[in-house]
Amino acid sequence: MWFRSKPGKPGRPQSTPATSKAPAHPQLESRLQRARLPVDLLQAGMRVVKLDRPWTDVPVLFQGFTLATDEEARILRQYCNWVLVEDEESRLIPVLDQIPSLKQRINEPLSEMRPLHHEMPRAVEAWSRTHQFIANTIVNIEQHNDLQLDAAKPLIHACVESVKANASAMLWLTRIKERDAYTAEHCLRVAIFTIAFARFIGLPDEDLETAGLCGLLHDIGKLKVPDRILNKPGPLTPEEYAVMQEHTLLGHQLLLKEPGLDRIISDVTLHHHERMDGRGYPGQLPEHQISRFARLVAIIDAYDAMTSDRCYRDGMPPADAVRLLYRNRGDQFDADLVESFIRLIGIYPPGSLVELNTGEIALVISTHPARKLRPKVEILLDADKRPRTPLVIDLGNQPEQGETLREIHAPLPDGAYDVSLQERIRQLMVKPDNNAS
């Protein structure tokens, strides 16, 4: 996803240009090579000689340094897509050979260590505790109390562990929404999507918690925007819109007071409304100055906002939101990240209610990037719309002979035919199905 055709694209390393002065050790010098490398493949000992953005936009101490610590690599993963490195050819070539497999990650579904039905109780607990944290934070801001944002770290850790076990459990929970709790639930949903998306594109486990905190706190500044503007049931005036835009600055200022938080979190809070075409806010930053994590959260923030019910409008279907993201790739959103996010979420996201061509009613369990129209589903009603023993079917992996191949006929609103996602979650909390996978 980071390998679009551009000058200096990744490939076999190029020799370091020769100088007029003969090297003291010609055999050693001839082995030093340079190559443009995706940040996810950086290794200790490589000399970083150029970034894909100004050095001053990345919190590193030197312009050009030898990668020595995990912390330096982590910072580069947060801000950059690629860097130019210098190393011995014998070390560079095996790393560059990993690029095809890195690309392939976005064609594979997220791995599952536990069945959704077994993971759901832990996911619900992590969700509930994190939701309560946001509710407490809202009260603390209203009453001008200390925010205690460090308490978010163990909560996000629990969310990460659940997503790693089976992301669909948490993604089911993101489908349950209340109009009157939009701001709190939006922050939590963006956190979950961000964790899942970061894992999907191949970020290491140590980055997932930071990514989740970026999502959780990206809109914290909105808690200081007057409610009459934040939840106005109609278009904002230019003056009101200007106040709304200040939430990025307000959130940034709040997070700067928390020395225990990673700097990328305040960066995302400030810049998640910047655009690739330079027409975003608050800084109208050009594309090359927008951090990787801010680009990632911008997509998820927009997707959840478009698909959520508000006090003044209904949310749009996920398929329509995906189309808008795709239409605005390259101008508003990072094009490669948009295409990867669509692969993750699919046309029928986990938790969607659908009718099959057989007349059966099912809930979508999980998606497959290479089979967007054929997810794994759990059939709950038979062709006559009567309850049946839940049956899990992978629509993309059915036997070619025998029964009629099942496929999705149409999406349905939650609650159709008295099938409710929330009720199904409640059933699984009482006693997970042993026959479901």
Q: Which two tokens stand for residue 162?
A: 């659940």
Q: Among 104, 84, 4, 81, which residue's Cα sits nearest to residue 36?
A: 84
Q: What is the number of domains present in the chain?
A: 3
DSSP string, 35-58: EEEEGGG--TT-EEEEESS-GGGS
* pLDDT given for residue 431 in this prediction: 64
Cα–Cα distance between 137 and 255 in angstroms, integer? 13
Is there a single domain that holds both residue 358 and residue 338?
no
User: In Å, what is the CA distance from 294 to each residue of 267, 269, 273?
Assistant: 7, 8, 8
Is there a single domain that holds both residue 159 and residue 302?
yes
* pLDDT given for residue 25 in this prediction: 44
Is there a single domain that holds both residue 331 and residue 375?
no
Q: Which two tokens stand for residue 186?
A: 């939006």
The residue to which tokens 């959520």 are assigned = 308
Q: Which two tokens stand for residue 244?
A: 């709304």
Is there a single domain that holds both residue 244 and residue 221?
yes
Is there a single domain that holds both residue 279 and residue 200?
yes
Q: What are phi and psi of 332, to 5 degrees?
A: -95, -40
How would you class 208 by CB atoms within 10 Å of its CB: exposed for 0-12, middle for 13-18, buried for 19 or more? buried
Is there a single domain that holds both residue 281 and residue 148?
yes
Q: Among 165, 170, 171, 174, which residue's Cα sits nearest to residue 205?
A: 165
Is there a single domain that holds both residue 221 and residue 279?
yes
The answer to whether the beta carbons of residues 96 and 35 sit under 8 Å apart is yes
Q: Which two tokens stand for residue 55?
A: 């050095």
Q: What are phi and psi of 302, to 5 degrees?
A: -70, -45
pLDDT digits (tens, 9 = 90+) for 173-229: 999 888 767 888 999 999 999 999 999 999 999 899 999 999 999 999 999 999 899
* pLDDT given for residue 24 in this prediction: 46
In a domain, 8, yes or no: no
Is there a single domain that holds both residue 192 and residue 246?
yes
* pLDDT given for residue 309 in this prediction: 84
Is there a single domain that holds both residue 325 and residue 364?
no
The vertex-90 CA angle with 88 and 94, nearest 5°, equals 115
pLDDT digits (tens, 9 = 90+) for 378-412: 999 999 999 999 999 999 988 876 678 999 999 99
In a domain, 7, yes or no: no
Domain boundary pick from 107, 124, 141:
107
List Cβ neighbours of 183 (8 Å cut-off, separation of 6 or more). Answer: 138, 219, 222, 223, 230
Is there a single domain that holds both residue 336 and residue 397?
no
Q: Among 115, 57, 113, 64, which residue's Cα sits nearest to residue 81?
A: 57
* pLDDT given for residue 332 in this prediction: 97
Which stretches of the chain score pLDDT less than 70? 1-30, 180, 401-402, 431-437
The answer to whether the beta carbons of residues 103 and 1 sit under 8 Å apart is yes
Instruction: Give the range of the structural domain holding residue 162, as residue numbers without chain letter.
Output: 116-345
Residue type, 70: D
Tell me, yes or no, if the pTM score tops 0.85.
yes
In a domain, 435, yes or no: no
Domain boundary pick from 280, 310, 345:
345
User: In Å, what is the CA distance from 78 to each residue of 59, 60, 186, 265, 331?
Assistant: 10, 12, 22, 10, 21
End-to-end CA distance of the chain: 31
The residue to which tokens 């993101």 are assigned = 174
Q: Which two tokens stand for residue 175?
A: 């489908």
* pLDDT given for residue 310 in this prediction: 79
Q: Which two tokens stand for residue 70?
A: 């995990």
pLDDT digits (tens, 9 = 90+) for 248-280: 999 999 999 888 899 999 999 999 999 999 999
Q: Which two tokens stand for residue 17?
A: 């240009």
Is there a single domain that holds both residue 275 and residue 377?
no
